[in-house]
Amino acid sequence: MPHCVILYTGNVETKTNMGALCRKLADRMIGILDEEGKQVFPTGGTRVLAYPAAYYAVADNDDEDYAFVYINVRMGAGRSAEVKQRAGDSLLEVVKDHFAHVFATELIGITLQIDESPGQVYDAKHSTLHPLFNK
């Protein structure tokens, strides 16, 4: 179930490598453990996808090429508040490190949110990935 979806203004692609950010976030997600040492984001279900917005408006755009990145992470219900906070802080650390050079010279905003899926009405999976990592 764990997914990370990144939406960003199209001008971000000239500022940084979004594919590299996807890989860094996936690697970090896979390494986050709960209090019992179990993966919070199972390897076979971890997916990070990034989509540029062809059209956007950011703030007042007063003669500036403002940029924005929105990162939404979804996780299944049942994790403690501490685990959720630690996961968010850890992922934000990756994002801040990745964008450090952009923050030094550009006008950009980044939001990272974690949503918990409390009550799904339908959740089906069909995958050959999970068995690969559940050995």
Q: What is the pTM of this model?
A: 0.85
Secondary structure class of 31 (helix, strand, coil) = helix
pLDDT at 119: 60
Measure Cα distances from 64 to 57, 59, 68, 101, 131 in Å.
11, 10, 13, 18, 49
Q: What are the structural domains of the chain?
A: 3-133 (3.30.429.10)
The pLDDT of residue 1 is above 70: no
pLDDT at 23: 98
Q: What is the pLDDT of residues 39-93, one digit of tens each?
A: 999 998 899 999 999 888 888 766 567 899 999 999 888 899 999 999 999 999 9
pLDDT at 76: 84
The pLDDT of residue 19 is above 70: yes
The C-alpha atoms of residue 26 and residue 36 are separated, in whole angstroms, by: 21
pLDDT at 62: 63
CB 92 within 8 A of CB 21: no
Token readout for 5 is 């979806």
Secondary structure class of 73 (helix, strand, coil) = strand
> In this predicted model, which residue has the larger pLDDT, 134 or 123?
134
Sign of CA dihedral 22, 23, 25, 26: positive
96: confidence class by pLDDT, cuts 50, 70, 90:
very high
What rounded mean pLDDT belongs to the chain? 87
CB 45 within 8 A of CB 51: no
Phi-psi region of 61 (alpha: psi -120 to 50; beta: other; left: phi over 0): left
